[in-house]
Structure 1
Amino acid sequence: MTRPTPGILALAGLFVVAGALHFVAPKPFDRIVPPWVPLSPRAATLLSGAAEVLGGLGLLHPATRPAARWGLLALLVAVFPANIYMAQHPERFGVGPGVAWGRLPLQPLLMWAVWRAGRR
């Protein structure tokens, strides 16, 4: 078995920790769910948290890495509207506009890292 690189370990750790936070401290995640999402904020938070944990764990093994890549890419696309919602209404979330808008370019960088990590 090919061992995960330090970069893959860091990326997997990021997703596992972020996903676990959705369960440990869900309220901040609930708050950024846009009102038009067809799930309750808590359901959306728990579903996205589970997807992050599973995707992060999936990056650790070469056999599951490609599926984890596609799952995490889909997740990152799905949660991007929440980041836009937060950027449009930073005062609701206790962050400045620079922080809220500054998060948006990080999403494509994270997607690129997932894309690279998920290759065979």
Structure 2
Amino acid sequence: MPRSERSPLLLAGLLATAGVAHFAAPRTFDAIVPRGLPGTPRAWTYASGAVELALAAGVAWPRTRRTTALAAAAFFAGVFPANVKMAVDWRHRPAPQRAAAYGRLPLQVPLVLWARGVARNGEGRS
């Protein structure tokens, strides 16, 4: 299978893994929910996990791939404030944790570009 054919499945796998992690270890994600959002952090954790699972399914299915991959790109951009909050909150932690938090910030750019590339290459194929 050529790389371009694997790319949507790899993206779907990443989204599914992240979605499951939101339910398996919610406390980790609760801590990075920006304080200004209404509701509880746990509700946002579960909601974002459910969105990631839905995006994974949509990206994996060729008929919905293009639209869902664009939605995934928007989602990756939309969760950036959580990564900023994590970097700010972890600025006094030990160097490895701080590096992980800071490393998440630029990671959003390739994720957005990856999802856009999947959308561009997955135009309604079935």
Change (3 A) 1:100 1:18: same
TM-align CA RMSD: 1.9
Query: Using the alignment, how far apart are the partners of 2:100 and 2:46 within structure 1?
Result: 24
* CA distance in 1: counterparts of 2:38 and 2:11, whole angstroms: 29
Q: What are structure 2's unaligned runs of at least 5 residues?
A: none
Q: Runs of 4+ in structure 1 displaced over 6 angstroms?
A: none
Normalized per residue, the structure richer in helix is: 2
* Equivalent in the alignment of 2:98: 97
Unaligned runs of 5+ in 1: none
C-alpha contact 2:83 2:105 (8 A) present in aligned 1? yes
Query: Residue type matched to 1:77 in 2?
Result: A
Q: CA deviation at 1:34?
A: 1.4
1:96 to 1:47, Cα distance in 2 relative to 1, 3 A: same
The alignment partner of 1:59 has SS state of helix
Once residues 9 and 16 of structure 1 are traced to their aligned partners in structure 2, the CA distance between those partners, rounded to angstroms, is: 10
CA distance in 1, matches of 2:62, 2:12: 13
Alpha-carbon separation, structure 1, partners of 2:28 and 2:42: 10
Partner of 1:28: 28
Query: Normalising by structure 1, what TM-score?
Result: 0.87
Q: Once the two structures are aligned, what percentage of the paired residues are identical?
A: 39
Partner of 2:68: 68
Residue 71 of structure 1, CA deviation:
1.9
Note the 1:1-120 alignment, pairs <5 A. Answer: 5-90=5-90, 96-119=97-120, 120=123
Residue 51 to residue 32, structure 1, CA distance change in 2 (3 Å) = same
